[in-house]
Amino acid sequence: MESVHTMNIYDVSKKAGVSIATVSRVINNNTNVRKLTREKVLKVIEESGYTPNTFASGLGHNSMNTIGIMCADSSDPFMAKAIYHLEQGLRENHYDVLLCCTGHVNSDKKKYLDLLLSKRMNAIILVGSNFVEIENDKNDYIKAAAIKVPIMILNGTINGSNIYSTLCDDYNAVFDTTTALLNEGCKDIHYLHNSLSYSGNRKISGFLAALHELIPNDKKRQERVHFINGNIVETREYLHSLQRNKVQLDAVITSDDELAIGVLKYAKDLSIQVPSQLSVIGYNNSLISTCCEPELTSIDNKLETLCTCCISSLMGIFNNQPVPIETVYPAEIIKRSTTKF
């Protein structure tokens, strides 16, 4: 049986060639609409059988002007910084923010998304790629929410109508970084990570692809990838265990800067010279990359740019402008004192 698509305010605005704000003003008999525009919108509503809901009504009365933001853990430096930039940008565009910290359990994420929808948000921003599940059916609740409001994903992507993604090219960022280390003469490069999110997996893929391309005969490349259950302290202890097992290291790339600080602490414990004996590269180019000694080379994922683009896309959607479904920005290696290149 062919599925029936229920018209929503976005469908009406698209068909009429006007913004959703204009549609809501027509619905609520706002006088600030030209006669021809009003007639065009009413004709589309009549022909489509569209029934205005509370979301459209709220838009017309300006009773919302609020964007929901969801993140897994606001104590995470990446997410905290993203929330800051998003909140500042949305405020400049006269929108308030309602933040929900969901944790990492899928059922809790769905519960908080439903909560935001019940509060009549204008849109919802998902911060971090941990909202993108590998098993596609686990993303269905996000696709269902996108029928009601625009869903913006920061640093992840889900294929679905009314879902828009802004992300860093994590794959090529780590691929290029690994290639630079190999070209510098490093042979025993290892990758440390603490997440298997969409972004986390892209980073791992970039690392392994670079090894495969430049060291095609390396049969143990998978053994160069290490999951760290924690951050600084756990990284330090884990590397000590590798050293006791005679694992050779002359370069380490990490999935975030905190892990890289753990590498530097390990090197200090054993009086390993950085970068002459061990090169270290972090990720995110966070504040701590310049607070340590030596200062940390780090991959800048352009977080502020991602947030600005996300908000710009959202404002474009509200104004019925064409907006790309996915926008990808290249990262940049910020060279400091922990690498020779």
The string of pLDDT tens digits covering residues 109-139 is: 999 999 999 988 999 999 999 999 988 889 9
How remote is the C-alpha of 110 from its chain's centroid? 18
Maximum C-alpha span of the chain: 79
- Please list the residues that pair with 244 across neighbouring strands: none
- Tally helices (H) and strands (E) across the chain: 12, 12
3-to-6, 198 alpha-carbon distances in Å: 10, 31
Q: Which tokens hold the place of 105?
A: 């359990």
pLDDT band at 216 (very low <50, low <70, confident <90, very high): very high
The CATH homologous superfamily for domain 9-60 is: lambda repressor-like DNA-binding domains (1.10.260.40)
C-beta of residue 44 within 8 angstroms of C-beta of residue 16: yes
Eight-class DSSP state of 203: H
**pLDDT for 38-96, tens place per residue?**
888 888 888 887 766 544 445 444 446 899 999 999 988 899 999 999 999 999 998 99
pLDDT higher than 60, residue 31: yes
Count Cβ atoms below 10 Å from residue 165 Cβ, excluding itself: 24
What is the rounded CA–CA span in Å between residue 50 and residue 46?
7
Concatenate the DSSP letters of all residues of 141-177 into one string.
Answer: HHHHHTTTS-EEEES----STTEEEEEE-HHHHHHHH
Do the Cβ atoms of 97 and 67 come closer than 8 Å? Answer: yes
Rounded-to-integer distance, Cα 277 and Cα 103, Å: 39
- The half-sphere exposure of 25 on its side-chain side, counting CA atoms within 13 A, is 15
Q: Which fold has domain 170-300?
A: Rossmann fold (3.40.50)
pTM of the model: 0.80
**Domain map of the chain by residue range?**
9-60, 66-168+303-332, 170-300
Same fold, 9-60 and 66-168+303-332: no
Q: Which fold has domain 66-168+303-332?
A: Rossmann fold (3.40.50)
Tell me how far the alpha carbon of residue 137 is from its chain's centroid: 20
